[in-house]
Structure 1
């Protein structure tokens, strides 16, 4: 009975989110309320369990970074960056998109992709406002670039951290094995941008002239606060990158950084709390509880094991099946809980494969499928949900299907490139 309830609630909530009949936060919280009311999960599983409960690390990482970004916005640095980017791109929208996509992808390799989009999205909104163009295609392109770029390193995407811990893979392992394919994927992604967002690059010549005449230095309103923010951000980013050395969780780092910045900037609560995407945080909480119900009842585990049994012991078949299944399921149920559930299955599969190169390929297949699959739908990755929340607050909402139509194309292309890469590198070249 619990299994039926968990599946039904998730399916109905997902349908409501996809069709946008009601706000996604309401759908997620209502779904969470139903599984709690029916006893599918209790408070222990929903709020305290690491496997089936709300991922508080994600929630508080988002909260901390939202507060930091809110204070940073007061300095005028986003206006500065917006004008600088637009001028470097000569005011040409396509060039602006390419520049912001490359910045986002590069930053996502060294920061988690949620933090990256939190920093880049305000810049994008300002650039598009200056040029009087629709920011939606730019925001979609950037979040997809963040999911691709984050694949390159251990810390770039949360699923990678889970895989690295389970498989014993280091930061350097990810650099060596993932960076080459990520660079190739980014080149292809950049090349298809004009086709993917056709018709989004028209701008009036007067707007270009206005942008080129601006002085970006005049945008900085509070240089002293900017220096303070810079010091705190540098410390926060250092702690993110040095996670394996300092052993401090990113969520704790973000909250400490936010607290210190609030203290030294003497900010009032209404100044920094206004930038917090409360709807996004509550949506995540509800989504985690519903997915936790699927994990708790064994639904996700059963699906993962079926995928594992279908390989028949063939390493290449296992790699390709994991890649494909991971891309689809990660796009539907969020790649973090999917990877958390699939990792033990992959560990079991690798134990039965004699060739260590072939065995390790299963882990890279899981990483590529889950990370690239995050682009499939609007709820496939945490960064997607965050950007949708920011866009809605800015008055330019992105619909579920508007994102997903582009996401299907990008995910299909990236997976089709990843498949031959895995085959050539681990089965042909060894």
Structure 2
């Protein structure tokens, strides 16, 4: 049975690396789900054990904020914000800076993936109208959404998982993360503005009529009432997370329930915007990782690495391994693998910052990156891996260096 479990685990994580499996129409979610089914099918876990392996508070929190983000999207909030940004009387570099700040703030509260999905097509259209090259702004959208989402424990799925599993303080983490995130956003703006200097209008030709028609059909009219409801619930949840003693997932679920009780927005539309595939990926990986941990293989591997001088429970080693794994298997699976090693008081903050910032390295490092690149392709704007890496690599290196220096200083002050 041990061999079977290890083989299934390796196949699942090979699928995480490749994005699927050869000769099969499976994406990462399909591979993880198939692995969980196989483990139950061969008797490695009973159904009851598989259900118990799922960290339900994380899944509930993630689902709840997907509903809140769906409310904001259907209320036309993201489209409205993007149009307002594009109308500002600013130069290209100034507009880039405001875009980065606003996207980062939105991503810290709402899902960074949803923000990119809603903003990207409207941003492209706005750039075309202002005769600006859309590529620098699209790359800024992806990078700032990732960086901004690192500021809170609800900004992205891996941060939710870390916060819920380790029981991190919402305000404590924010106070830890806000400085490296803010400096990282400034560095992101500086790098993109420097790379684009003198070329703000390159490639700003009008898109084909078919693409413009697609942009119009995707636009959502602004609904002040629906947007106000969503903002009120999101604001109330943030305050509750700071002062209320109740579990965050309970409060978030109540907020989602209130939003689903609408006389205008049908629940089918709201739930249709929930990323069910991501929820299934989470639950399946919980099952796969739990099965492997029960065998003792992971503990043995950690002991072997420690004997070789690589102590994964130390912050330096954890920093490097988190960065590497996040770009091999993506950040959520990497965090799931490394969470059992998060014993140091600062390990949770390190995992959240490094796994999120590492996502900017390459297109495949983050779902938000893929969403932006796909949106650009639908408008006949080509952002290949080289074009993305020219921005993503330096942004990742600089922001991780900022986070590393900050964490080292925090550790020095704490131990000194």
TM value normalised by structure 1: 0.69
Cα offsets for 1:64-114 (capped at 9, x unmatched): 2354245313xxx4443222111216484x6544322211223444x25x2
Q: Separation in 2 of the partners of 1:46 and 1:27?
A: 16
> Within the alignment, does 1:44 sit opposite 2:26 as a pair?
no
Residues 168 and 348 of structure 2 are in contact (CA less than 8 Å); yes or no, is this contact kept in structure 1?
no
User: SS where residue 181 of structure 2 aligns?
Assistant: helix
> Within the alignment, does 1:6 sit opposite 2:8 as a pair?
yes
Provide the residue aligned with 2:263 in structure 1: 265
- Output aligned runs, 1:17-32, within 5 Å: 17=19, 22=25, 24=27, 25-32=29-36
Residues 64 and 256 of structure 2 are in contact (CA less than 8 Å); yes or no, is this contact kept in structure 1?
no
User: SS where residue 267 of structure 1 aligns?
Assistant: coil
Provide the residue aligned with 2:214 in structure 1: none
- CA distance change for structure 1 residues 243 and 364 in 2, over 3 Å: closer, same or farther? closer
- Output aligned runs, 1:305-344, within 5 Å: 318-336=314-332, 338-339=334-335, 342-344=338-340
Cα offsets for 1:46-69 (capped at 9, x unmatched): 433245x89522552354235424
Residues 322 and 369 of structure 1 are in contact (CA less than 8 Å); yes or no, is this contact kept in structure 2?
no
Residues 361 and 396 of structure 2 are in contact (CA less than 8 Å); yes or no, is this contact kept in structure 1?
yes
Q: Separation in 2 of the partners of 1:272 and 1:166?
A: 27
Q: Separation in 1 of the partners of 2:30 and 2:200?
A: 32
**Equivalent of 1:385, from 360, 367, 383?**
367
Q: Separation in 1 of the partners of 2:139 and 2:296?
A: 33
Provide the residue aligned with 2:211 in structure 1: none
User: What are the ranges of 5 or more consecutive residues in structure 2 without an aligned counterpart?
Assistant: 208-218
TM value normalised by structure 2: 0.71
Provide the residue aligned with 1:83 in structure 2: 83
Q: Separation in 1 of the partners of 2:137 and 2:292?
A: 34
More deviation in 272-281 or 386-395?
386-395
Cα offsets for 1:284-325 (capped at 9, x unmatched): 555554445444545555555556666689x9x933222111
- 1:196: Cα distance to partner? 7.0
Provide the residue aligned with 1:60 in structure 2: 63
User: What are the ranges of 5 or more consecutive residues in structure 1 without an aligned counterpart?
Assistant: 208-218, 351-359
Query: RMSD of the TM alignment (CA)?
Result: 4.6
- 1:168: Cα distance to partner? 7.3
- Output aligned runs, 1:150-161, within 5 Å: 150-156=149-155
